[in-house]
Amino acid sequence: MTLILIRANSQGKLLNAIADIERHANLKISGKPKIIEPQIADKLAKGILKQNLRSKCEIATLIKVLDDTTKSIMHIKKIHPPAHIVVISEEYKEFEEIKKMFNILPVLKGYYSHKSVPSN
């Protein structure tokens, strides 16, 4: 399982990025995407990337994918989604905190997929 943080300027771009991950990167999303506060998403992305971000996001989400981290990174590198995507592997110190946070975050409204796999 891998966690993916998606930062975007609008909900439309966010939803398109999730669809691109599913359709073009062929990653299996588990459960529903969760909405995360933009300020928290920016802070997490900055900490994981260890560099300043070019811009602040307006909306952000966390998704779980069933595929492993390496496959997720390799497949996402091949697509050009309309949002900033950060793959969060277990090796980052923030991973456990984000994993716990994922369970209490509200579900992102507006996303529907016939391909998503129910979470356990």
Q: Is the pLDDT of residue 112 over 80?
A: no
What confidence tier does 110 reach under pLDDT thresholds 50, 70, 90?
confident
Distance between CA atoms of residues 50 and 57, nearest Å: 17
What confidence tier does 113 reach under pLDDT thresholds 50, 70, 90?
confident
pLDDT in tens, 28-48: 999 999 999 999 999 999 998
Domain coordinates in residue numbering, the chain: 1-102
% of the chain at pLDDT higher than 90: 72
**Who's near 61: CB < 8 A, 6+ residues apart?**
5, 6, 14, 18, 33, 34, 35, 36, 108
The arithmetic mean of pLDDT across residues 44-59, rounded, is 93
Q: Is the pLDDT of residue 116 over 80?
A: no
64 beta partners = 3, 30
As its CATH architecture, domain 1-102 has: 2-Layer Sandwich (3.30)
pLDDT score for 115:
60
Q: Against a cut of 0.85, is the pTM above it? A: yes
